[in-house]
Structure 1
Amino acid sequence: MNSNVNVPFNNLRGAVILIVIAFHSALPYLASQPAQPFAFDTAPYRWVAFPIIDRERWFGFDLFCAWQDISLMTLMFFLAGLFAPTSLGRRGPFAYLADRWWRIGLPFVLAVASLSPLAYYASYRLTAADPSPVAFWQHWRALPMWPSGPQWFLWQVFVLSALAAALHGLAPRWRHALSRLIGGLSDRPLTFFAGLTGLSVLAYVPLALVFSPWNWASLGPFSVQLSRPLVYFVYFFVGFAIGCYGCDRSLLRTDGPMARHWLAWLAAAVICFSAWGGLTSLTLPDWDASSFSCRLAAALAFPLACATGVLAYLAIALRLLRARYRVLDHLSRNAYGIYIVHYVFVLWLQYAFVGVTLSAFGKMIIVFSLALALSWTTSAGVRVLARAGVKARVRRPTAILTESTIADQTR
C-alpha cells in the first residue's frame, strides 16, 4: 500500500461512490414523483433525471436525495480540485492536461456514446409502444440533445481542470497566493466557512433567481444545471487552493478544529438543510409563480446548506475515517470505474423490479446491492485487463531481445 495516500480522503472517495449509487438507486421511489413514468418524446424530457418511475414510494428517499443533491455534487467538485495540484505540479500543465484527456475526456466521449443509450433504453421501454432496439434508436436520434446521464460531471471537471492548467502555465504565482490565503485560515474554520458561503452566494443566487434552481440546458451531450456552474467553479478552486497548501497542514488536517468538532458541523448541516427544505417548499410546485421574497430566501438558504453539508462530510472523514481498511482501499481504487458504468446496472435493475411486489425500501436496497456488486466487479475486471495489457507490452521487447540473442548464439 502507498504510504503517501491521504487516508481520510481516500476513504471518503470510496464512501462517496457508495452514496452516488445509493442516490441513483433511490430515485424511482421518491414520494414526490408523479404516478406515471415520463413520456420519452415529450419536453421537457424529465425522464433524463428520473428515468424509472415505480409505484412504490417512501418519503425518506426524498429527504436523502435532496440532501445529496445539495452537498454531494459540490463535494465531488471539491475533491476533484483538492487532488489536482499534486498532479499538476508533478507533470506540468501540458502533460497534466493530456492525462486529463485520457482519464476524463476520452472516457466521457466513450461512455456518452455507448453506455448512456444502453442505460436509457430501460427508461424508453417503460412508455414505448414499440420497445424494440431499432425503434428506441430512432426515438433516441430524434431527441434534441444526447442525454449523458451522470457523465455530465466528467466534462465539467475536464473544463475546470483545463482552466487550472492554463492558469498554472500563464500565471504560476496564483498558486502561491492561494496557498498563502489557505494558510492563514488553517485554524479558523468559521472564517473559512464564511468565505466559502459568501463566494457561493455570489455564484448561485443571481443565477437561481434568473433561471430557477432546477432548469437544465443541453447542447448535444453537454448538459449543465443553469443555477450551479459557478458554484461548482468555487468549490473546485477552493479545493484546489487547499491542495496547493497541503491537506496535512491546512484546516483539513486530522488533528485540526474541523475534525475535533465534526458533530457540530453535522448538526449545522442538518439545521441548514432543514431551513433550505422549508423555504424551498414555499416555492413549489411553481418557482416562477411564487413570491420574490420566497425565491430569494430559498436561494440564499442553498449556499448555507451546501457549505455546511460539504464541511460536515469532510469533518466526518477526518474524524471517523482515519484508519485504513482493505475494502475501502479497493473500493476507492475502483471508484472512478464504478462511477462510469454503474448507471447502466442501476436503471436496468430498477426496470426489472417495476412489476415486483416489494416495498420501496426493499427494492432500493436490492438495486443498490446488485448495482454495486456488478459495477465494482466490472471496474476491477477492466483494471486487471489493463494491467495485463501493460505488462504484455513491457515484456514483448524483452522477449524479442531474448529470442534474438538465442538465435545469435545458435548460429
Structure 2
Amino acid sequence: MTTATASPTSSPTTTRLGYVDNLRVLLTVLVLAHHSAVTYGALPIWYWTEPSDSPSGIALMLLVIVNQFYFMGFFFLLSGLFAPGSVDRKGPGDFARDRLVRLGVPLVAFWLVARPVLHLPSWPEHQADGESFLHFWFTVGDVGPLWFVEVLLVLSLAYAAFRALRARSTAGSRVADAGEPTAAAVDALSRPVSFRAIAGFVTLLTVATFLWRLVVPAGTYWELGGLPSPAYLPQYVILFVAGLLAARRGWLAGLTVRQGRVALVVALVSVGLALGGTALATAPGASALAQLGAALAETVFAVSMIIALVVLFRERLAGQPAWARFAARNSFAVYVIHPLVLVGVAILLAPVVAPAGVKFLILLALAVPLCWALAHILRRIPGVSRVL
C-alpha cells in the first residue's frame, strides 16, 4: 500500500499502472466505509460505536463481513506487485531499510500518538481503577488498522531476505534491472491466465485457509501484534506472493475481459453462499465439513471479486486525471490517519438522531474528503512525505 514510483524496463519512458493506483484508492475508500459501518452497525468493534440491531444496522454488519472476505487480501496483492521492481533497483538491503522507514515509522508513530488518543474516551474508567495516565498512554489498545502495515512490513522483509539469499546462492549473479511494472512492460510480458489456473489458485487458497482455521478459527484475535483477523493470514500471504509473481509474469494483463465478466457473475452468486457458509462455520460445534465449505465459498467470492475489479479497472477505469493522481499520492497517508478522522467526526455527529444507515452515509461523506485534505496537508510538512 505504500506509494511506489515505476522505473524503466526496456525504455527510458516510465508509465505507472494507472488502474492499479485507482484500485488502491478504491480500496482505501472501502477501508473508510468498513470502519464507518462498524461505527453504526450491529458489530461494535471500533473505537467509537453507536451499535444498532435495526435493519440498516444489520445491513452494515453484512457489509463489514463481505468486505473482510477480500479487500485486505487485495491490498496485499497490490502491495506485492511493486516489491520485485523495487528490490531490482535498490537491492535487498536498501529495500529492507526503505520499508523499515516507510512502514515502520508510521507504525511506531501511530502506536505512540494515535493509539492512546483514540482510546481517550475510556480514560475515566481507567482513572477510576487507579491507573496512572502514563501507564494508560503506553499500554491501552493495540495498533488498530495499522496491523496491515505491521504484516506488510514482515512480508516485505521476508521477501528481501529471500532475494538476498537467492542472490548469494547464484554466486553474485544479478537479475537484470527489470524495474517496477509499467503499463507497456506488463502488456509486453503478459501471459494468458487460464480458467484452470484460476481454479488451481482457488483450490490452493481454500485448502490453506481450511487447514489454518482448524487451528485459528474465524473470529480469533491475536493480542500479540494486535491482529484482528489472523484467520485470514493464509489469504494475505498467498495473495502477497501472487502479487510478486504477477509483477514478473504479467498475470494482471493476462486476465481476459471474458474472465472478468465470468468472475463478476460468480462473485454475485457466491456472496450469499459465503455469508451462509461463514454463519454455519462459526456456529458452536461446527463440523470440519462446514468449515471447508465456508473456506471454499469465501475464497471463490474473494478471488472472483479481485479478478472482476482488476479487469474492470484495467479496461474502463485506467485513466488518471489530476484528482485521481492526487488521491493515489495521498492514499497511504489517508489509511494511516483515517481512524482519528472517523472517530472525531463520529463524536461530533453523536447528537444527531437518525437511522444507522443514514448516519453511516453522513459519516462517510464527510470523512472521505476530510481524510484526503488532511493527508495532503500533513504530507506537505517537510520530511513527512518520505514516510507517507
TM-score after normalising by structure 2 = 0.82
* CA drift at 1:317: 1.4
Distance 1:109 1:344 in 2: 16
Identify the residue that residue 223 of structure 1 maps to in structure 2. Answer: 227
* CA drift at 1:300: 2.9
187, 192, 203: which one pairs with 1:198?
A: 203
1:121–1:136 Cα contact (<8 Å) kept: no
349, 362, 366: which one pairs with 1:370?
A: 366
After alignment, is 266-275 or 221-230 more displaced? Answer: 221-230
Identify the residue that residue 233 of structure 1 maps to in structure 2. Answer: 237
Identify the residue that residue 6 of structure 1 maps to in structure 2. Answer: 17
What does the per-residue CA deviation read over 1:60-85, in whole Å, with 9 as the maximum and x for residues that have no partner?
Answer: 32332222101100000000101111
2:22–2:324 Cα contact (<8 Å) kept: yes
Structure 1 counterpart SS, 2:223: strand
Identify the residue that residue 71 of structure 1 maps to in structure 2. Answer: 70
* CA drift at 1:264: 2.0
Distance 1:375 1:343 in 2: 10
Number of corresponding residues = 357
What does the per-residue CA deviation read over 1:342-375, in whole Å, with 9 as the maximum and x for residues that have no partner?
Answer: 1111122223333421122221122112222222
Identify the residue that residue 153 of structure 2 maps to in structure 1. Answer: 158
Structure 1 counterpart SS, 2:222: strand
Please provide the CA RMSD for this pair. Answer: 3.2
Structure 1 counterpart SS, 2:151: helix
After alignment, is 192-201 or 381-390 more displaced? Answer: 381-390
Distance 2:315 2:211 in 1: 36
2:33 is equivalent to residue 22 of structure 1: yes
35, 40, 49: which one pairs with 1:52?
A: 49
1:185–1:191 Cα contact (<8 Å) kept: no
Distance 1:186 1:215 in 2: 38
After alignment, is 50-59 or 332-341 more displaced? Answer: 50-59
Give 5+ residue unaligned stretches, structure 2: 7-13, 182-187
Identify the residue that residue 88 of structure 1 maps to in structure 2. Answer: 87
1:283–1:290 Cα contact (<8 Å) kept: yes
2:48–2:346 Cα contact (<8 Å) kept: no
- Relative distance call for 1:384 and 1:184 in structure 2 (3 A) is closer
1:54–1:354 Cα contact (<8 Å) kept: no
Distance 1:370 1:175 in 2: 47
Distance 1:300 1:263 in 2: 20
Give 5+ residue unaligned stretches, structure 1: 38-46, 391-411
* CA drift at 1:192: 3.0
1:199–1:234 Cα contact (<8 Å) kept: no
Kindly report which structure 2 residues correspond to 1:9-408, keeping only aligned pairs within 5 A, or say none: 9-30=20-41, 32-33=42-43, 47=45, 49=46, 51-55=48-52, 57=54, 58=56, 59-122=58-121, 124=122, 128=125, 146-172=141-167, 186-219=191-224, 221-223=225-227, 225-245=229-249, 250-253=250-253, 256-284=254-282, 287-386=283-382
- Relative distance call for 1:373 and 1:56 in structure 2 (3 A) is farther
1:78–1:236 Cα contact (<8 Å) kept: yes
TM-score after normalising by structure 1 = 0.78
Structure 1 counterpart SS, 2:318: coil
Distance 1:102 1:387 in 2: 12
Distance 2:210 2:53 in 1: 35
